[in-house]
C-alpha cells in the first residue's frame, strides 16, 4: 500500500492558474488511507521512452522503412506493457513522438502516418478487425498490446485524414495530418482520440479546425481527460475539459524540452496536478542530449517522478493512484478539515484578519500585514520576459507582486535563513521569443546569486529550505 503522506517538512505548491504561489512550512494533511480502502485506488504506469529516431527526419522514406523504424519503438512498448501487466497496471501512458520521432516536414512524415477514422463515427477494434482500414499498422499493434496486457493504453502517433477540395480548409495535398493521442480500452477497442491543438513548431502537422475536448470513461477510475505537451499552458483544451468536475485524471503524452527556470517538465506537471486537485499521468520521451526527460504520476499531494540527464535509457513508473484525488482546494469536506496554512492564505487574500488559537489566547493577524515592511520591487529578465519581482526576505511573511493585470501572492515560512536569494515574480504580457504567445506567469525562483539581476537565471542545485519533500522518487517496489 502506498501511503500518500507528505509528512515532515515544507511543501511547495505552485498554482499556475489561480495565479498565486504558496510555500508552506506546515505539513499538509495527507490522506493516509487505511487498508480497507484499497479499492479506492487504481494502478497506473507511465513510460519515459528513449525513442529510436529516424537518422534523417527530412529524408523521404517508404512506408515499409517507416514501419520498420516504428516497429522498433513498438517492440519496446510491448515489453513495457508486459512488465506493467505483471504488476497489475490498469492504464499505461506512452509519450508524444515516441513511435515516429520528430523534426519532420509535412512531406517527410507522410510514410509514418496511420489512417485514423473518427471513433465517434466508427466503433473499431484494430487488433480484431485489422483489414477494415488500410495504413493502420501502428493502431493495430497498439490495440493488440492493450488486449495482451489487459489494460487501457494511451499512445501518441502521427495520423492522416483525407479531405475533399470542397472543404475550404483542406490542405493542397488533400489530407489533414495530425499529432494524435489514441486511447484503447483493455479489450483493444479504440475508445477515443485527441488531436493536438497547440502545436509547437511542428511543420508536419495541421491544427484541427475545432478543438477536441476529449474525456473517456474507465471502469476502474471514472473519467480521464487527454491533451498533449504544449497544450498544458493553454486554457483550451487543458482547463476547459476540467470544467467537467467528473474529470479527476489527465493522461498527458509529452515531448518536452526542459528549460529553466520556468519550463521544467516535472514542475509544470506537478503544478497542474496541485492547482486543479487532479491526478496527472505524464509520459515524456527520453533524450537527455536534447534536454528531454521528466515524466511522472502526479497526485495533488504527492508525485512519483523520473528525471535523469545521465542515464540514456527509458524508465517505467508504476504507482497506485487514488480514484478520488485529494487536494488543497475545495476539499474541506473530503479531508474533513482544510489545510491550515491554506485557509490562512485564503483569509489573507480576501482581506479578513486571520486568527489562530493557542492554549491561552487568540492571536489575529491584520489583513494589512501585506504591506508591512514591503520589500522593493525590481525587474529582471526571465526566459526573455521582463518580470516584476520582490525578494523573499526573512523567515516568514506574505508577499504580493503585480504585472499589468496579474497579481501573485506568496505566504511563506522557512525553518532557517540561508544566504540564498529567492524572489517572487509576475509577468503578464506577450512572449515573443521561440514562439509568440500571450502569457501570465507567477513564479517563485531561486536567484543565481545575491544580486537582483541574477533572478531568472538557470539554477540547478538543490534547495535546502524549500525542499519538495512530497516528491518521492519512484520506488520500483511500488505498488
Ligand X SMILES: *[C@@H]1O[C@H](CO)[C@@H](O)[C@H](O)[C@H]1NC(C)=O
| Residue numbers annotated as active site | 96, 196, 229
CA 448/CA 460 separation, integer angstroms: 10
Question: Which residues are CB-neighbours of 45 under 8 A, at least 6 positions away?
Answer: 80, 84, 87, 89, 91, 92, 93, 297, 316, 317, 318, 319
CA 208/CA 195 separation, integer angstroms: 7
Q: Which is nearer to ligand X, 133 or 234 (CB)?
A: 133
Interface mask toward ligand X for 280-299; x: CB under 6 A: ----------x---------
Cell of 360: 491561552
Length of the chain as a residue count = 479
Q: Does 386 bind ligand X (CB under 6 A)?
A: yes
Among positions 80, 179, 189, 341, the unique one binding ligand X when judged by CB under 6 A = 189
Q: Are 328 and 23 in contact (CB under 8 A)?
A: no
DSSP classification of residue 236 = I
Q: Does 187 bind ligand X (CB under 6 A)?
A: yes
Q: What is the phi-psi region of residue 247: left when phi exceeds 0, alpha when psi lies from -120 to 50, beta otherwise? A: beta
In the region spanning residues 344 to 383, those forming contacts with ligand X, defined by CB under 6 A, are 379
Stretch that binds ligand X, among 17-25, 59-67, 186-194, 421-429 (CB under 6 A): 186-194
Q: Which is nearer to ligand X, 189 or 215 (CB)?
A: 189
Among positions 51, 185, 258, 320, the unique one binding ligand X when judged by CB under 6 A = 185
**Number of residues engaging ligand X in binding (CB under 6 A):** 14
Question: Which residues are CB-neighbours of 133 under 8 A, at least 6 positions away?
Answer: 115, 117, 124
Q: Which is nearer to ligand X, 163 or 469 (CB)?
A: 163
- As measured in angstroms, the least distance from the Cβ of 333 to ligand X is 4
Q: Does 333 bind ligand X (CB under 6 A)?
A: yes
Q: Does 134 bind ligand X (CB under 6 A)?
A: yes
Q: Which is nearer to ligand X, 150 or 471 (CB)?
A: 150
Q: Does 133 bind ligand X (CB under 6 A)?
A: yes
Q: Which is nearer to ligand X, 134 or 210 (CB)?
A: 134
Among positions 16, 76, 127, 191, the unique one binding ligand X when judged by CB under 6 A = 191
Question: Which residues are CB-neighbours of 86 under 8 A, at least 6 positions away?
Answer: none
Helix (H) or strand (E) holding 145: helix 137-149
Helix, strand or coil, per DSSP, at residue 368: helix
Helix, strand or coil, per DSSP, at residue 350: helix
Q: How far is CA 448 from CA 16, 249, 333, 380, in A?
A: 22, 36, 42, 12
Cell of 357: 488559537
Interface mask toward ligand X for 55-84; x: CB under 6 A: ------------------------------
| Residues at the site binding ligand X, with contacts judged by CB under 6 A | 53, 103, 133-134, 185, 187, 189, 191, 290, 330, 332-333, 379, 386
Amino acid at each position: 500500500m502506498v501511503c500518500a503522506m507528505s509528512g515532515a517538512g515544507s511543501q511547495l505548491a505552485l498554482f499556475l492558474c489561480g495565479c498565486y504561489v504558496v510555500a508552506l512550512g506546515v505539513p499538509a494533511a495527507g490522506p493516509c488511507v487505511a487498508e480497507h480502502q484499497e479499492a479506492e485506488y487504481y494502478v497506473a504506469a507511465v513510460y519515459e521512452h528513449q525513442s529510436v529516431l529516424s537518422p534523417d527526419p527530412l529524408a523521404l522514406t517508404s512506408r515499409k522503412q517507416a514501419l520498420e523504424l516504428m516497429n522498433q519503438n513498438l517492440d519496446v512498448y510491448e515489453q513495457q506493457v508486459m512488465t506493467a501487466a505483471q504488476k497489475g497496471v490498469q492504464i499505461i501512458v506512452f509519450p508524444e513522438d515516441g513511435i515516429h520521432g520528430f523534426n519532420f516536414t509535412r512531406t517527410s512524415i507522410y510514410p509514418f502516418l496511420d489512417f485514423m477514422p473518427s471513433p465517434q463515427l466508427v466503433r473499431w477494434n484494430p487488433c480484431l478487425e485489422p483489414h477494415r482500414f488500410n495504413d493502420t499498422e501502428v493502431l493495430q499493434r497498439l490495440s493488440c498490446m492493450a488486449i495482451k496486457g489487459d489494460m487501457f493504453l494511451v499512445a501518441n502517433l502521427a495520423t492522416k485524414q483525407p479531405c475533399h477540395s470542397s472543404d475550404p480548409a483542406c490542405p493542397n495535398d488533400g489530407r489533414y495530418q495530425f499529432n494524435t493521442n489514441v486511447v484503447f480500452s483493455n479489450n483493444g477497442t479504440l475508445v477515443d482520440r485527441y488531436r493536438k491543438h497547440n502545436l509547437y513548431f511542428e511543420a508536419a502537422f495541421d491544427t484541427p479546425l475545432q478543438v477536441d475536448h476529449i474525456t473517456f470513461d474507465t471502469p476502474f477510475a471514472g473519467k480521464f481527460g487527454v491533451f498533449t505537451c504544449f497544450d498544458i499552458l493553454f486554457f483550451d483544451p487543458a482547463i476547459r475539459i476540467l470544467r467537467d468536475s467528473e474529470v479527476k485524471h489527465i493522461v498527458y503524452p509529452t515531448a518536452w524540452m526542459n528549460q529553466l527556470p520556468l519550463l521544467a517538465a516535472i514542475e509544470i506537471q506537478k503544478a497542474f496536478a496541485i492547482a486543479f486537485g487532479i491526478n496527472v499521468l505524464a509520459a515524456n520521451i527520453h533524450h537527455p542530449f536534447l534536454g528531454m526527460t521528466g515524466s511522472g504520476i502526479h497526485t495533488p499531494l504527492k508525485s512519483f517522478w523520473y528525471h535523469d540527464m545521465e542515464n540514456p535509457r527509458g524508465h517505467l513508473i508504476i504507482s497506485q493512484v487514488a480514484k478520488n484525488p485529494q487536494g488543497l482546494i475545495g476539499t474541506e469536506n473530503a479531508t474533513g478539515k482544510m489545510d491550515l496554512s491554506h485557509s490562512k492564505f485564503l483569509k489573507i487574500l480576501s482581506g479578513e484578519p486571520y486568527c489562530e488559537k493557542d492554549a491561552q489566547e487568540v492571536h489575529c493577524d491584520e489583513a494589512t500585514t501585506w504591506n508591512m515592511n514591503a520589500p522593493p520591487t525590481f525587474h529582471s529578465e526571465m526566459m526573455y520576459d521582463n518580470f516584476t519581482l520582490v525578494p523573499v526576505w526573512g523567515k516568514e511573511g506574505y508577499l504580493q507582486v503585480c504585472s499589468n493585470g496579474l497579481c501573485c501572492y506568496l505566504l511563506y515560512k522557512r525553518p532557517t535563513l540561508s544566504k540564498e536569494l529567492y524572489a517572487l515574480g509576475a509577468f503578464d504580457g506577450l512572449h515573443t521569443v521561440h514562439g509568440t504567445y500571450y502569457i501570465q506567469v507567477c513564479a517563485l525562483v531561486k536567484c543565481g546569486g545575491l544580486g537582483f539581476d541574477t533572478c531568472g537565471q538557470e539554477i540547478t542545485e538543490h534547495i535546502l529550505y524549500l525542499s519538495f519533500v512530497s516528491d518521492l522518487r519512484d520506488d520500483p517496489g511500488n505498488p
